Structure 1
Amino acid sequence: MKSIFYWMMLIPFLVFSQNQSDNNEEYLIVGSTIFSAKSDKIKEFSEGMKNHNEQFHAEGAMGVRIFTIMNGQNAYDYMAVIGPMPWSAFDEASPTQEAHDEDWTNNVIPYLESEEEVTFWRFHNKLSHFPSNFEMSKLRVSVWDIARGKYEDMISKLEMVTGVLKEKSPETPFAIYTNEFSSTNSGQDLSVVYFFDDFAWLGKDQKLKEKFEEVHGAGSFNSFTQDWMNITNGASQELWVYNQNLSGIGPQVTTSTED
């Protein structure tokens, strides 16, 4: 297993709120990586991952949720998301390292076909919106490649569109993340995540243009989309479904955001 994710999984269990203040608290990150199970060892992989997460990743900052990816080149692989946590969590020693190492090595690694690289994502509290006490179910994840030198422009445009969503669609949870170690090769700079319950949501017209122009004026949406095309180099989208059987923590999201 890649050493950095291995190390990340060993940080002690701490509890952090996603309700941050700009001056007094560290911003929060999450870590993500993709696992593929051997095609003839899916049962063993599932049992090993389930037991491992229940024992070592069932609470706090080191809680892990597993999602099944439903489309694209990673279809039917597993996305593990750990956190949230501040960077300072890496400075803490783990009292469970030996037991964790042994369990992962003996009961999970033998059934892995592959593991993709770890990505650390910074959570942008003020650009995100979590209604009180919603539950994870299904996620639409868009990962954008941002043009070089366009970070501030990106933030400015995100402030516009997330403001519209908070005002006009307050029932819809969404989150904004940026890659802490972005690469011009990977094209994974910005992640926009929508949370929803029913697949029917995907087929509904969210009327974003109408809502956007109610807030910013007639013609503003076309101007926004043109600017966004100049800021970005493209995107990829995936549908994730929360896999409660393999997760260490449940679907309940009790954190809040600064709306």
Structure 2
Amino acid sequence: MLKKTLSFALLATMCLGAMVTIKAQEGMMADPIWESILITPDNTKLKILGENMRKHNQKYHKEGPYSVTVYTISSGPNANKMVWMMGPLKFADLDGRPAAGGHEEDWRDNVMPYVKKVESGEYWQQDDKVSNTGMLTPNVADYPILAVRYWEINSEHGHGLDRVLKQISDAVKAMDGVNPWGVYENLFRQGNLGRHFATVSFSKKWAEFDEDPKFKMAFEKVHGADAWDAFIRDGDQVFDNSWDEIWVYDKNLSGD
């Protein structure tokens, strides 16, 4: 229990949170959505894959809701894989997504032959009410390093998640400095895969990981020192599991 409690405290200190899969079922779909896929490249063909993917993205995914950003995963079990992400968009935009004009053929003939595996096709919706992303610009290069945390929510205690999330959000927004942080819901059921939600901290440089964000100090300032222990207990009940990945923006492969 002590190990789990300390683990959750560390998660909170890193300014990451989560929530349950309810909004999609209630029809609340106003917040922006991103489509993502996980790509395992053929490491013996990285040069030609990079050249062809860049050409594809610049031709078919350069702007608007179909713009694509590519990240390389640098930590965790998916290290050295790529995340191909399109958006922000609405589901209605998918009815007009690039398909004609050679799009499908180009992806099939010039990208897929150099890819070992494509998996985890998912749709992620940002929760604008608790996210702190107003300072982000369309220029992904401003914050090229993403600390992504996936969360698995306990099926019996998910009802307490909104309270935990609100507490984290209020504390993040009260921290000194600029602290972009987003909460993203996986819109379709994942079964036992556990990728229910992801939270993201955006960084300009790696050196920021050496800094103490002083989350606990901000939390106690907002909620009171006596609220911390209850916050830790709630988190221990709400979250069954979590794991991290660090993503690094790859401008060369993206559509911008």
Structure 1 CA distance, aligned partners of 2:175 and 2:43?
Answer: 45
| Residue matched to 2:162 | 155
Alignment of 1:87-98 (within 5 A): 87-90=91-94, 92-94=95-97, 96-98=99-101
| Residue matched to 1:207 | 214
For 1:163, the aligned partner's letter is D
Structure 2 CA distance, aligned partners of 1:156 and 1:142?
Answer: 19
Superposed structure 1 runs of 4+ greater than 6 Å apart: none
Alignment of 1:84-233 (within 5 A): 84-90=88-94, 92-94=95-97, 96-134=99-137, 135-169=142-176, 171-233=178-240
Q: Which has the higher helix share?
A: 2
Residue by residue, what CA displacement relative to the aligned partner does 1:124-179 show, whole Å, maximum 9, x if unpaired?
01111124354231000000000114444212211111111112245011110111
Residue by residue, what CA displacement relative to the aligned partner does 1:219-239 show, whole Å, maximum 9, x if unpaired?
312211110110010101000
Is 2:73 the partner of 1:69?
Answer: yes
TM-score normalized with structure 2 length:
0.83
Shift of 1:94: 4.8
Is 2:247 the partner of 1:240?
Answer: yes
SS state at 2:123 partner: strand
Is 2:24 the partner of 1:26?
Answer: no
Structure 1 CA distance, aligned partners of 2:205 and 2:98?
Answer: 41
SS state at 2:43 partner: coil
TM-score normalized with structure 1 length:
0.82
Structure 1 CA distance, aligned partners of 2:145 and 2:72?
Answer: 10
Is the Cα contact below 8 Å between 1:138 and 1:198 reproduced in 2?
A: yes
Structure 1 residues 39 and 163: alpha-carbon distance in aligned structure 2, compared to 1, 3 A threshold: same
Structure 2 CA distance, aligned partners of 1:58 and 1:175?
Answer: 23
Alignment: residue pair count: 226
Is the Cα contact below 8 Å between 1:176 and 1:192 reproduced in 2?
A: yes
SS state at 2:103 partner: helix
SS state at 2:129 partner: helix
Shift of 1:98: 4.0
Residue by residue, what CA displacement relative to the aligned partner does 1:42-82 show, whole Å, maximum 9, x if unpaired?
10110111100000001011111000100111111111111
Structure 1 residues 54 and 197: alpha-carbon distance in aligned structure 2, compared to 1, 3 A threshold: same
Structure 1 residues 95 and 69: alpha-carbon distance in aligned structure 2, compared to 1, 3 A threshold: closer
Residue by residue, what CA displacement relative to the aligned partner does 1:82-109 show, whole Å, maximum 9, x if unpaired?
111112223x345652410111111101
Structure 1 CA distance, aligned partners of 2:30 and 2:219?
Answer: 32
Flag structure 1 segments of 5+ consecutive residues without an equivalent.
1-22, 250-259
**Worse-superposed segment, 110-119 or 132-141:** 132-141
Structure 1 CA distance, aligned partners of 2:79 and 2:172?
Answer: 29
Structure 2 CA distance, aligned partners of 1:99 and 1:39?
Answer: 26
Structure 1 residues 96 and 166: alpha-carbon distance in aligned structure 2, compared to 1, 3 A threshold: same
Structure 2 CA distance, aligned partners of 1:248 and 1:137?
Answer: 15
Is the Cα contact below 8 Å between 1:131 and 1:170 reproduced in 2?
A: no
